[in-house]
Structure 1
Amino acid sequence: MGRRILLTCGEPAGVGPELAVKALGCGVDFAWIGDPRHLPAGTPVAQITAPDAQVPPGHLPVIRHDFAADATPGQPNPVNAQGVIDVIARAVDLVGRGDFAAMTTAPINKQALKEGAGFAFPGHTEFLAHLAGNVAVAMMLASTNVSPACRVVPATIHIPLEQVPAALSDEVLEQAIRITHAALIRDFGVAAPRIAVAGLNPHAGEGGTMGRQEADRMRPLLDRLRAQGLDITGPLPADTMFHAPARAGWDAAVCAYHDQALIPIKTLDFAGGVNVTLGLPFVRTSPDHGTALDIAGQGRADPESTIAALRMARDMAALRA
């Protein structure tokens, strides 16, 4: 397996290209894949064809992938949408072949991809699962700057809130728990994972007075999994499980829906949060922020989350090696 991490370009009109340059010197050996024209002017570039080719100090190793057009910061160009999609697919191929140790993806603009290339997936996570052979995956957000660590996994992701109760089936919740359990062992080195599960309703249903999902569906499922040897607590009230003493009791929290999981971690560690796709046959991380079109090209983008994502990809790959 190659030693370098492969960083995809993401939306070329967003902050991804400039963050790649800012991440140089972070202690992670990585190469960037994209169109060199989209990098900030004056970026010292070393185009490579061999994954582990040596480059001069201070130069960004680049796997060249030509796009249809230049990029204007803050203004996504529909003609470049297919290039963004193709870069992700090419990166999956390169990492899957073992040329690179892992991949870190810069943020994409899903609206631009849909309008420019008919992108049919809700986001990166679902597209990567498709490219990997439609494997079962889960999205984890993991902190790097707070202790105890905060790792959250939403069992349902990019769907309207009104659809969550029906979508949160026993099968969906069990899959999220089992994927999380396996990933904590394989990718985070947690020998005996402790998983907390958040209830769907306020106060986890409060004995059925605020909803019956916890008592009728979630608790029997969690009891069955506990009987099989999984260390699970819950269903817990989501409003009291994320302060530091509570987090000390678990290694990851599986939540019912997107915002229930992401609001706590983005509040605790917005700059240092990392998006990890669990369940893939390769390691993928991403910074926990969007394309930031409003500040693209201004030199204001904070590279901390990108650097954290690169470091986490390196560390996860080392555990899998």
Structure 2
Amino acid sequence: MNDVLQSLFQLFESAPVLVAAYDGFDRLRYANKAFRSAYFIEPDETPFWPDLMRRNHCAKRGTVIRAADFEEWLISTQSRRGKVGFRAFETDLFDGRWLWMTETVREDGWMLCIATDVTDLKASTREVRQDRDLAIKASYTDELTGVANRRFVTARIEEMLQRQDTDEVSSLGCLCVLDIDHFKGINDQFGHHNGDLVLKDFARRIHRLVRRTDCFGRVGGEEFVLALPATSLEQARLIVERMLVGVRKSRPLKDRSDCKYTFSVGVAAAQPGDTPISLFARADRALYMAKLAGRDRIHIDDASFDRSGKIG
């Protein structure tokens, strides 16, 4: 077996295709020589993907990113990156090369990236294909905040529920419905433009704490959802508690230090037989209970507790 692994390693190192593997936290764990050369990575480096993209963008090398605001592009891209089992897309590099890249993702979040140089193939229709990819991206992205929209998140919830081949409820995952508290009051006091800034601030703060295997998106107004595949209720609670603390510290308006906000969360564990509609309804009811209890808190759906009264 060691001989096979050594042979594979040597093949990857000498191959002209770009090969890389990222773990579930989006840290680079392996990159062959071609990949390291294209993205300016030292042999002993293991950067996180966002850090790698940020430093290359600042140095004008690696992937060409056509966006006025890099951080907004990053949020939008991470909202979709690694959320499906396989995807393929085209991208270009500052050195003039055009790559066809595929991403294959395991259930534990590990991702295999393979890219092939297609610079000489169908150059005449390249812009058309890129416009198509941008249109697909837009159809899955919330225009204001840059995170995933209702359509994309719903598809990820459906995929999470398709794993109903196990008797362990906690292995299916959890759904969280998040709602900014007293958002109408924020709009009334600070104006709708500043209300939009609060929504953007909220999306950024939550997104920083979302794992790559999770999916966070806006479903309308001040309401957001967070799908946590293969996550127990106790794990979900810990994740959301960190988010509550982070948002409490936020002062989203530079010229109004008195502007602060909180949010409430309803959490429901997926159960065999659930549909996206039924799971969302239970999480939404839990959100309503969190609001009734005083807001700025988590409420767990009653049906998500097992018969002993413990969190499943």
TM-score by length of 2: 0.24
The structure with the larger Rg is 2
